[in-house]
Structure 1
Amino acid sequence: MPTPIDRAMNSKNMFIGFAGIVTAAAAWSIWGGDIFPKQPDPKGNPEDWTLDEMRRWLDNRNLMAGSSATREELLARVMANFRAPTS
């Protein structure tokens, strides 16, 4: 008479679950865990950046851009924290 463990080991659900875990692990290793990579920092003069570029630049530095900030407020925060590249 089969025990509950024997029935679990012969179950299709157990095989499908294991196959799903293996597939997920393979996908993670192929994409390296970075399916949607971050966009690079904007280049050039901050006064010429778009609102989205300023928000992204501030968010990358954990400076909390804020969703209701105006362009002038964002530009002031960027300029206060901006250091020109040294190359």
Structure 2
Amino acid sequence: MPTPLDRAVNQKAPFFAFAAIVTGVAAWSIWGQDMFPSSDPKGDPETWTHEECTRWLNNRNLHPSPLATTAELLERIKANMQTPRS
């Protein structure tokens, strides 16, 4: 006579629920992070576009203002490039 545990193990629903959880965790760990991290712009900051300036500041967690002009972003970039490294 099968017990409730035997009947639960023999059903397909727990297997599919477990498989769905594993698949969800794997998908989140792959796509929840940057698959292709953005690279820093190269060259002279004076020639960078607004998006490149914003990306450079974001990569360093300097949180640029969305309302800032390119000149203001460039000023922040230059100020942060000159900081001494220890």
CA 1:20–1:53 in 2, change beyond 3 Å: closer, same or farther? same
Q: Offset of 1:46 from its aligned partner?
A: 0.4
Q: Offset of 1:19 from its aligned partner?
A: 2.7
Give SS of 1:68's match. Answer: coil
**Partner of residue 8, structure 1:** 8
Q: Determine what percentage of the aligned residue pairs are the same residue.
A: 54
Q: What is the TM-score of this pair, normalised by structure 1?
A: 0.71
Rounded Cα–Cα distance in structure 2 between residues aligned with 1:76 and 1:26: 41
Aligned length: 81
Q: Which one-letter code corresponds to 1:78 in the other structure?
A: I
**Partner of residue 72, structure 1:** 71
Unaligned runs of 5+ in 2: none
